[in-house]
Structure 1
Amino acid sequence: MFANANANANATEPQSGHALARRLRPLQVGVALQNMLLWVPVEKMFMAQIGFDAAAIALVAAVYATVATALEVPFGILADRWSRTGMMILATLALAASSAVGGLSTTPAAYAGAAGLLGVFFALDSGTVESIIYDTVVEETGSGDGYERWIGRVHVVEATALVLSAVLGGLLAALTSARVTYFATVPLVTAAVIAFQRCREPRLHRHTERATFQRQALATVRALTTDRAVRPVALLTALTAVVTMMVFEFGPLWLVSLHAPAALYGPYWAALVSTGGLGGWLASRTRLDRLTLAIGISATLVLAAALPALSHTLPIVIAGQVLVALAAAMIGVRAGRLLHDAVGAHLRAGVSSGAGTLSWLIFLPVSVLFGQLSRGHGLQTAGLLIALLALPVVALLTHTARRPSPTTPAGHQAAEPTGEPMPTTG
């Protein structure tokens, strides 16, 4: 009897794996198309062409950060209540519109409109992919244990698309102009809508008592502010995201400062964005819940973050930025798993968006400070902010490595009524 039971269990695992792969395939295609952003590798060069300096670039970053901060949590709650794939479709349309407006811009003020639409995209998209993957894994396998593996695969798809778009964008800009890359991006991104429409959204977050928007918003805020299991993980998620944003937003400025040739921008950006996929793959095969490994990744993050601030040699600067992005990608996957484990399915997108909002709230003043420091004291001095931000990430990562794995099954968490307080732990 036991042999038959084991045989049935072994036969079920491949079947569930195939079903899971089929369900997530349209999502992966949509994510790939959504990340075919041909303008991204040459954005800073284009911005310089239409009149931006480092401080003005920081102010534009503050524009989309402000928009995302204002909209992220309401949109996350709406995703939990309405449709996560629906929010991804709206996000895709906002991203296409941002690309079009960016291509039409001839002044910094006009480009600020594109930045505002980009903030809308970030707010609509926040937490949706991760929540869909986690809940789909739970529906198909009965637990969230496969989350790191599947989010890692999606990150590989995302990074591959970004690398391809970086190479193609750099080539297109060299053959035509940086402005053309914005217009060429619009049809590629819009095609993601078709893929997202084919996604079969998990229903786990619907298996709870229906509550008013206000009650669900209160439950989401309560989870973020009073749950001792959620608070440090949400902060770790937010700070890791800020470190990543700082590198991706301001990293290319080192190339401008050090007079890098235009041909280097594409390969540089390809190396930078590839870290998302490589980091996701490594995170699915690395036990960051082990203290020694957590300390090793933490040391890598801090040391690498200091390199751009201390060196004027372009290869060293690029190596430091790539290592920071790689370590942050690995930590982000670990933080995402802990965050989804800590809350019920009906709150996952909202809580993830809350962590995203916190990251924007931190990024907003830091980006402005970065711009002012770079203008008054130079880019190297401003780069020390990235190293300083890495320090609390290290403390929180080592703190979570000491915590035991969650014992509450995902199905039990998903059954919690939306209007009730989230349980505290610890």
Structure 2
Amino acid sequence: MVSQRRRTPRVWARPTRALMDEPFQLEVACLPPHCPVTLRSTLYSEGNDLWEAFSHYVSDETGRVNVSKDESLGGLYIGREPMGLLWSLRLAVGGRQNIRLRKKNIQTPLVVDISLFDGHNTDNFNTQTALAMTTMERWYMAPGVRRIEVRENGVVGTLFIPPGPGPFPALLDVWGLAGFMEHRAALLASRGYACLALAYINHPELQLGSGMGISYFQESWKLLQSVPQVSADRLGLLGSCFGAAILILMASELPDISPRCLVAINSPSGFFKPGEGKYLEKMKKLLPEPKLDANGHLITKDAILAVGIDLERSLQAGGIQCPTLLIVGEDDQNVPSIESAQRLEAQMRAVGKGHLVTKLSYPEAGHLIEPPYHPVLRCSTFIYPDQPVTMLWGGVGKSHAAAQEDSWRRILEFLDKHL
């Protein structure tokens, strides 16, 4: 009689090295049939904070689990979610909380470990022995992308240039009042666009810590046009939150700025007209005392709506001449992005330019619409303007994750068409 040995369970991911916006395949094999297991993902941020996610599966009759096809029965998400072990990552209990996952060294990957455990577990993973494990690298920079720090004519930022001689279409990438980030620009360069990630607020190398004025952005545009690897007549604008409002102002009111296209993510442009810096101070002075929810989280959307639209103060977008893509999270608790987008659409229609506007509106998506598979974060610490608060951004798990994935695909299609 031939004895049968129990096979050692295996877990593997394909590819093990990929860009952050690329999906992966995750499979488990060599389990007993109909065996309950837990898959757990972990990564350490550059601040050494542990992020984790876990989900429950049951192997099929052949002893296999395919995360791309099988449904999670529990854990941090349920249903068929091929990338759930990334977007559901959260800060581990016992460590710091309410912190955004921000990749500062963009030239190194996020290293994600995937571990397999017996049974359906929810905690105490450190006291258990994993049945199997695999490791993935998630990159924001593709091989050959060049990262160049920019310190010229007062402009501070980072330029990412795709592999090859160019000339490339290019983008000016501006975030909100939370400050300077490079990861989106690096991903865009990995997709073929030269991209200048621009610092303009709360940066140690800028003289005005509370925000640079509009002339600074004009200078940034000229600098990007002058880069030898950039096709100067194929430039676009892409921004989030207050950064998007600044870019809308540039496209609408500055005659020397002629973008080929504009992408605005959750902009408050219908309520604020960016001026010459001191953005946070002006906002705090303008708004009534913002309210806190039951958890002590700051909600600024309702305070902005309570002020109402003042035509002298709000941005007039009718001067925009280029195709414009508006990304709206309907659960945005930070700014009235729905109302702002509606106002911009109305202004464009009033001057016969309604055909230039495309709006993508996502139910249960919050303010922080990142590139895909980035952890969904409903609230985090924010400096407003000189004291830390816990800001409520909004967004509901799977819905917000789906919005990030779909909007990124649509942004890339929009840029491909117009740049």
Per the shorter chain, which TM-score range?
A: under 0.3
Considering Cα pairs closer than 8 Å and 6+ residues apart, tell me whether 1 or 2 has the greater RCO. 1
Q: Which has the higher helix share?
A: 1
TM-score by length of 2: 0.27
TM-score by length of 1: 0.27
Greater gyration radius: 2
